[in-house]
Amino acid sequence: MLNKCYIQITVTFYLFFSCLLASVDVNADESSLNRDFITFVERVETLQNTNITDALVFLDSYSMSINALTVENQVKYYQVLSELHMETSQYQLGLSATAQGLQLAKYLTVPSILIAELSYLRGFGFESLGDKDRAVKNYLNGLEIAESLEEMKYIAEGLINLGAIYYLSEEYEQSLIMLNDALTIANTLDNEELKGSVNSELGILYAYMYQPKKAIKFYQASYYHFKKAGRELYALYSLQNIAANHMEENRYEQAIPLLEELIENGDKFSNNEVLAEVHIRMAMAHVMKKEPNSEAAYQYLIIAEQYVKDVEQHNVPMYFTVKKAYILEAMGRYEEALDSLRLAEELLAKNSKTKNTYSHYNLMYLQSEIYYKTGKYQQAYEKQSQFLTRLLNDENSVNMEKVEELRLSYESKQADLQKKILEQELSVQVMQLNDVTYHEKNLQFLIFFVGLVLLTLAWFLLKITQGQKHLAKVSQMDELTGVVNRRHLIALGEKMFSQAQQENNCLSVLMLDVDNFKAINDTFGHKVGDDVLRDIARLSLDTMRITDCFGRFGGEEFICLLPDTSQKQAYDIAERLRLIIENHQWHNKTLEKVTASIGVASFQKEHTDSFLTLLKDADITMYQAKSQGRNRVCS
């Protein structure tokens, strides 16, 4: 009996001891697994910098082991998985991963910055699928967590996300505030990747505000910072923005090599959205360049269409259909182009949560061009009128003056910062010189050196002061022609109209459009086209009186405001200007003749209720001049 009890006790003790050892082994294995996971994530992020597909495959190899990880490491796994899906534009998969990560995050014992990162990713997914409201909500949630944890890097990321969604909604003032606050943080932290991100978004913001020369500086800075941070893929995204900027400025020959480089690196993206956009831009570059190649453009368009089919991003199909219409129009396939535009209108109607102003402009402009070329003049006129009405309404709905003030304020602050840095450097140098003076016998050399430093500082301060004055001036001028820009023209026109209305004075407006300007660009190149616009601006300024205001309204259209000028007087001025342009000897000898069609409209108390009405009347008469054979004045 005793022996039996002894055996039972021995077996029980053995089993207990075996379980204890097994528990120790399991705990040791789990601890090792969690340590290995940190190294594993670092390897995934390294792959992410160069090839997203390889990073996804490598991350998937860990999927069978995630249940053995700590809760925090499991959340990290889903955060990385979501980020990779978002970067390959697989937004639904990305949102699924964020949902799993946020569900697990509820079991974390302490707040984690991972929750902010997941909120940002979920916001980006909703934004890309066209749900702005849910995107903003998630961005704000993430920012609130980052601020509570005082994580400056993630606060900057939240500001960048909000800045981007604000410029997409054309809330430029809010966007400018957010992105400049993010830039301040990025510079303070000296974080190259963060600098790259915020410079990229600032470039896009300035492009949306029709300031391409400023935009490209931010794109180039973004490319430099991403390269320095080792983020090769993000640097390629910046390269895409630079190529887009070249195209916006009609530098198609410069854009093509950059787009070719992006296509060559297509396997690194594993992103149908990016590849679709690159091929669309390549198609547009070939059809718009100095010597167009419509067939090559169409081939790139076919490739782009294959990528578009698998794209989840809500704006890409609409963008594709508009650009397809441009290419078909250039090939003379007008009915197919109109069909493509009708499809684009349907897509715009479905996507009512975002403004898509630029797309509306493209649609109306291209429809008007096709109607005109196919002899449907009434429909062309109606589209032109819609275009002008929308343009002026959008101009009034966006407080661009406030945005300009804010932009100048930020740039002035940057100039002040440079000034303080120079003063600080001077102070340090003077202290060093005082120390050197104690030991150095060559006093004349020291005096010369101090003088040189002071002279250099004075020069920098002078340049900064001049730059601040210049900023105030250029915000009202058209960069290409040097005359007043559209925004300032409208402000002056509103002021002149108000005065004419109150004092019952005359006010007339001329709207001038260069005839066959697209043909000039296509035949002689965009440089010659730009020279023509500059010369017309100069000739017109020479013709105007000191009280008149002449400016560029956009593209090849100019406007002249003529206070205290009757309709007959305005007609005479317009006719004189038309003859001067027609008889001008152009620098380019192959360009024999350039003409302009001019519309005249005058303030009539009973009929003209606003400056917008006056402009529309001028546009109507200018269009009449076009339809009657061009190179004439209509009043």
Q: Taking 60 as the threshold, does the pLDDT of residue 141 lie above it? A: yes
pLDDT of residue 135: 92
Global pTM reads: 0.61
Q: At what angle do helices 192-208 and 232-248 cross, to 10 degrees?
A: 20
Alpha carbon 354 to its chain centroid, in Å, reads 15
Distance, in Å, from the CA atom of 335 to the CA atom of 353, rounded to the nearest integer, reads 29
Report the chain's C-alpha Rg in angstroms: 32
Q: What is the DSSP annotation of 360-378?
A: HHHHHHHHHHHHHHTT-HH
Q: What is the mean pLDDT of the chain?
A: 80
DSSP SS3 for 554: strand
Please give the residue that has the higher pLDDT: either 619 or 456: 619
- Structure letter (DSSP) for residue 632: S
pLDDT tier at 457 (50, 70, 90 boundaries)? Answer: low
Beta strands 633-634; 596-602: pairing state:
parallel
**Residue 616's pLDDT band (cuts 50, 70, 90):** confident
Residue 214: predicted pLDDT: 86
Cβ 350 vs Cβ 317: under 8 Å: no
Distance CA 387, CA 623 (A): 13
Listing DSSP states for 190-205 in one string gives: T-HHHHHHHHHHHHHH
* pLDDT at site 174: 87
Whether pLDDT at 547 is above 70: yes
Beta bridge partners of 554: 557
Span 463-507, pLDDT tens digits: 555 555 555 455 677 888 888 888 888 888 888 898 888 888 889
pLDDT of residue 318: 81
DSSP 521: H
Q: Which among 344, 304, 291 is positioned nearest to 322, based on CA atoms?
A: 344
* Per-residue pLDDT at 17: 41
Residue 513 structure tokens: 């459009």
222-229, Cβ contacts within 8 angstroms, sequence gap of 24 or more: 222/195, 222/196, 222/197, 223/196, 224/196, 225/192, 225/193, 225/195, 225/196, 225/199, 226/192, 226/193, 226/196, 228/192, 229/192, 229/193, 229/196
Res. 543 pLDDT band, cuts 50 70 90: confident
Handedness of CA 271, 273, 279, 285 (dihedral sign): negative
Strand 507-514 with 557-563, pairing: antiparallel
Q: For residues 461 and 326, what is the distance between their CA atoms, to the nearest angstrom?
A: 49
Average pLDDT over residues 388-414: 59
Q: Which of 98-112, 480-494, 552-566, 620-634 is predicted with the least confidence, judged by mean pLDDT?
A: 480-494
Query: From the DSSP assignment, how many helices (H) and strands (E) are in the chain?
Result: 26, 5
In angstroms, the first-to-last Cα distance of the chain is 126
Tens-digit pLDDT profile for residues 331-350: 888 888 888 888 888 887 77
How far apart CA 311 and CA 276 sit, in angstroms, is: 8
CATH homologous superfamily for the domain 486-634: Reverse transcriptase/Diguanylate cyclase domain (3.30.70.270)
Q: What is the pLDDT of residues 263-321, one digit of tens each?
A: 888 777 677 888 888 999 999 999 888 888 988 988 998 998 888 887 777 778 888 88
Alpha carbon of 447 to those of 44, 268, 337, 426, 507: distances in Å?
58, 58, 73, 14, 64
pLDDT: is 147 or 68 the higher one? Answer: 147
Mean pLDDT over residues 406-411, rounded?
58
pLDDT, position 338 = 87
DSSP 223: H
* The pairing of beta strand 557-563 with beta strand 596-602: unpaired
Which tokens belong to 422?
A: 């120079």
User: Residue 595: is its pLDDT beyond 90?
Assistant: yes
Q: Are 554 and 596 spatial neighbours (Cβ–Cβ below 8 Å)?
A: no
* Among 564, 567, 561, CA closest to 548: 561
CA proximity to 241, closest of 202, 272, 284: 202
Question: β-strand 549-554 against 507-514: which pairing, if any?
Answer: unpaired
Which residue would you say has higher pLDDT here, 597 or 435? 597
Is the pLDDT reported for residue 572 higher than 60? yes
Whether 460 contacts 408, CB under 8 Å = no
How far is it, in rounded angstroms, from Cα 31 to Cα 25?
A: 10
Q: Is the pLDDT of residue 175 over 80?
A: yes
438 pLDDT exceeds 70?
A: no
pLDDT at 14: 44
Sheet of 507-514, strands arranged across: 549-554, 557-563, 507-514, 596-602, 633-634
Q: Is 162 exposed, middle or buried (0-12, 13-18, 19+ CB in 10 A)?
A: buried
Question: Which tens digit of pLDDT belongs to each residue from 517-526?
Answer: 888 887 888 8
Q: What is the pLDDT of residue 502?
A: 85
- 43-95 per-position pLDDT tens digit: 888 887 777 778 888 888 877 778 888 889 889 889 999 988 888 888 899 99
Kindly state the average pLDDT of the residues 564-586. 91
Cα-based distances in Å from 404 to 77, 163, 166, 487:
44, 16, 16, 11
How confident is the model at residue 144, as a pLDDT? 93
Question: What's the gap between Cα 182 and its chain centre?
Answer: 16
